Amino acid sequence: MMNLYFLMTALFMGMAALIAADAALTSFTLLPWFNGLRWLRVHFITLGAVTEALFGLLPLVVAIRAGLPRPTFRWDIWLTLNLGLLTLLVGIPIINQSLIFAGGMLIFVATMLLLWQLRGMQRETPAATAAGDGRKFYIAGLSYFLVGIIVGTGLWLGWSDWLHIQVPIEVHIHANNWGLMSLVFAGLLVDMYPTWAKRPLAWPRSITPIFWMLTIGALGLILGPWVKSNWFSVPGIILFLAATFWLLLNVIKPLWGDKATWLQPGIWHLVTAYFWILAPVLVAPLIILGVPGFPGAGVEQNAPQALIYGWVLQFSYAFIPYFFYRLFLPNEPARLGGSWLSLLTGHLGGFFLWASIFLAVYHNVLHGLAYFFWTISLIPITLLLWRIMRHGLHLLDERSGVVIEIVET
């Protein structure tokens, strides 16, 4: 029963909406600032909604692509992931070292188990060899997640000194963002694009070089802050960006001129989310060069949130509802999630967050507006997930009613 991961995804998406609203209200000084909520704000999305959904769907997608039967639900993975998450949700805001250690390690074990499961799922049918190959993206992404978990767990436990990490928070963000998220999202595009767009990617043979460029680029972006050297970061950014452009061109070119496709907000979410990856990269040289008057500290403090809400969340607005349809309502046509409202407000949020960095005088009001728009964008998606799930569970209920009646007669 894969749906349990999705139940948690819907739950955490709701929490993400609540806590984005809290950030808006505190910025407008309508509510007192809650200490420790900053961690929850980002991680309800990254761990709660996205990682949870990925753990549920990756074994399914890999099995379909490899022509294998639907894998059985792994309770061990579900339990270790969710126990770890709940332990962190308690431990990090109050900075309790034993809870942080236990939570981090449980998620580490869950990730190892998932990696093991995916590695074991080899293609069995020759026909399946021609299908997309996201599996290697997922395995590489989850391997970087292991690094991100160790560094993230160690942030409050003093492991960074022991591991000789120069800028630990950046290593954590880079391992999870450029390592885990971008590789897994690329894998999903490779595997799912033919279904979503009803046509193949522009250059299927480019997938392998794109995979290596993203993987090596992410490594450079992790090693850069680890040893504090641009000799790793700069080639890392170049490889990473080149591969991302190449992947996006693969996505956009076949759809160019096809008006009907561009009338779907879901496709816009998938493609335009990537703009928010570019924003920090474009200003990075100004920080590295130390341009006077440039608010480098503000960027370092706020850019991670713009990245999570602008890119990770927007990409998720499209793909998470799609898999909800597939799993809960298998007899209905599945479509990408998102609406023109979530698209507009998702981008307005990113715009106002960046504006709050540069217009320091209006910081609070602009910061509040950013979270206001992100809250608005989250609400319809959360409602959609709940609606799909409720409908699906209702059908399941009806069917089990029928089964009971049959058994009784």
In the complex, least distance from residue 262 CB atom to ligand HEM, rounded to whole angstroms: 29
In the complex, least distance from residue 303 CB atom to ligand HEM, rounded to whole angstroms: 8
39 contributes a contact to ligand HEM by CB under 6 A: yes
Which 179-208 positions form the footprint of ligand HEM (CB under 6 A)? 180-181
Residues 222/144, Cβ–Cβ less than 8 Å: yes
8 contributes a contact to ligand HEM by CB under 6 A: no
User: Crossing angle, helix 97-120 and helix 52-66, to 10 degrees?
Assistant: 10
Instruction: For the beta carbon of residue 163, count every other beta carbon within 10 angstroms.
Output: 13
Shorter beta-carbon distance to ligand HEM: residue 317 or 328:
317
Shorter beta-carbon distance to ligand HEM: residue 155 or 376:
155
Shorter beta-carbon distance to ligand HEM: residue 172 or 269:
172
Single residue of 92, 306, 379, 385 touching ligand HEM by CB under 6 A: 92
Shorter beta-carbon distance to ligand HEM: residue 9 or 177:
177
Single residue of 40, 308, 376, 388 touching ligand HEM by CB under 6 A: 308
In the complex, least distance from residue 323 CB atom to ligand HEM, rounded to whole angstroms: 18
In the complex, least distance from residue 107 CB atom to ligand HEM, rounded to whole angstroms: 4
Q: How far apart, in whole angstroms, are the C-alpha atoms of residue 391 and residue 385? A: 10
Nearest residue to ligand HEM, scored by beta-carbon proximity: 152
Shorter beta-carbon distance to ligand HEM: residue 328 or 372:
372
Residues 117/76, Cβ–Cβ less than 8 Å: no
DSSP state, 293? T
Size of the site for ligand HEM (CB under 6 A): 27
Hey, what are 324's tokens? Answer: 């909800």
Count Cα neighbours of 258 within 13 Å in the Cβ-side half-sphere. Answer: 13
Q: Of the candidates 292, 260, 353, 382, which has an alpha carbon nearest to the alpha carbon of residue 6?
A: 382
Single residue of 17, 66, 155, 343 touching ligand HEM by CB under 6 A: 155
Hey, what are 235's tokens? Answer: 């080639």
Q: Of the candidates 301, 303, 313, 298, which has an alpha carbon nearest to the alpha carbon of residue 376?
A: 313
Shorter beta-carbon distance to ligand HEM: residue 51 or 377:
51
57 contributes a contact to ligand HEM by CB under 6 A: no
Q: Note the Cα 77 to chain centre separation in Å.
A: 19
In the complex, least distance from residue 20 CB atom to ligand HEM, rounded to whole angstroms: 13
Residues 68/84, Cβ–Cβ less than 8 Å: no
DSSP state, 192? H
28 contributes a contact to ligand HEM by CB under 6 A: no
Task: Give me the numbers of helices (H) and strands (E) for the chain, helices first please.
Answer: 18, 0
Hey, what are 214's tokens? Answer: 């993203």
Contacts with 51 (C-beta within 8 Å, 6 or more apart), sequence order: 81, 145
Contacts with 292 (C-beta within 8 Å, 6 or more apart), sequence order: none
220 contributes a contact to ligand HEM by CB under 6 A: no
Shorter beta-carbon distance to ligand HEM: residue 21 or 201:
21
46 contributes a contact to ligand HEM by CB under 6 A: yes
Q: Could you list the residues that contact ligand HEM (CB under 6 A)?
A: 38-39, 42-43, 46-47, 51, 88, 92, 104, 107, 148-149, 152-153, 155-156, 169, 172-173, 176-177, 180-181, 304-305, 308
